[in-house]
Structure 1
């Protein structure tokens, strides 16, 4: 497989991918390990909570975003990691049976002066459920390898 480089990323591009259905069992398992609040792990307690039932941890939703990114985008690119996330918002609860997908918009790109072999990509990710409702929004920067010929000619 040919990997895509930073030069292949086009600002303004919007891509949708994913399609992951979340089960109650995995919601409870993730939350039991990492976010054991009652509305994530206890069916009876969750019924009386204002959410009205079990919901996924926001961190679980973020982890599912990451999984869909790797499976559908990053595995085909010269990914070099990320310096971090500038914004992360949980917009709507994710419930058992929800099917999630990602809408990714490339906001901009720039070469890194300190590391000529790497370029930065600014992204906005929106996770949508099966009703096209946004459940998570994240803005982040990703680092990607540059084509050796392109990075070498820049001064």
Structure 2
């Protein structure tokens, strides 16, 4: 798997993720309607034009999902047991349809579990930027991670 084992995470490590993603109008409308969010600010171009934004905003939960999703390939793909929680979620600047997102992840902490042998907890801070370098989202995420299997550790 592409994900890292618990032992491969180091406090202060920053991963600049290779995958980027342009958010489309279809993404925004589909996600908003799929999640039962009828906010016209996301799905009605005419309504959004009359707001201070002037055009539809990308649903913030879609932005959060893309940010964390982009990070998975180089952090937790196949090596995570599950998310334990997210905190400090912030959206300091708007995301519009057509913006391209890039993500970086900083390892805040990594430690072995006291109650679960061969597992541990990694706290990440994810940050997403749009094409002009503007920070558009951040959050902290705690994940329960697998330790490197004994057979692999011995080789």
**TM-score of the alignment, normalized to the shorter chain, above 0.5:** yes
1:16-95 aligned within 5 A: 16-17=16-17, 18-34=19-35, 35-75=37-77, 77-95=78-96
Deviation at 1:117, TM superposition (A): 1.5
Cα gap change, 1:2 to 1:33, in 2 (>3 Å): closer
CA separation in 1, counterparts of 2:104 and 2:2? 23
Q: 3-state DSSP class of the match of 1:126?
A: strand
Distance 1:22 1:49, change over 3 A: same
Which consecutive residues of structure 2, in runs of 5 or more, have no partner in the other structure? 151-155
Q: Deviations over 1:26-70 (max 9, x none)?
A: 112211222220110000000001211111111010111232122
Tell me the C-alpha RMSD between the 2 structures: 1.8
Moved over 4 A (4+): none
2:133 aligned partner? 132
Task: Number of aligned residue pairs: give it.
Answer: 149
The alignment partner of 1:116 has SS state of coil
Gaps of 5+ in 1: 150-155
Tell me how far apart the structure 2 counterparts of residues 3 and 45 of structure 1 sit (CA, whole Å). Answer: 42
- Residue in 2 aligned with 1:152? none
State the partner residue of 1:14. Answer: 14
**In 2: Cα distance, 1:22 partner to 1:72 partner:** 21
The 10-residue stretch of structure 1 (29-38 or 114-123) with the greater mean CA deviation from structure 2: 29-38
Structure 2 CA distance for aligned equivalents of residues 72 and 20 of structure 1: 15
Specify the SS of the correspondent of 1:12.
coil
Distance 2:121 2:43 in 1: 38
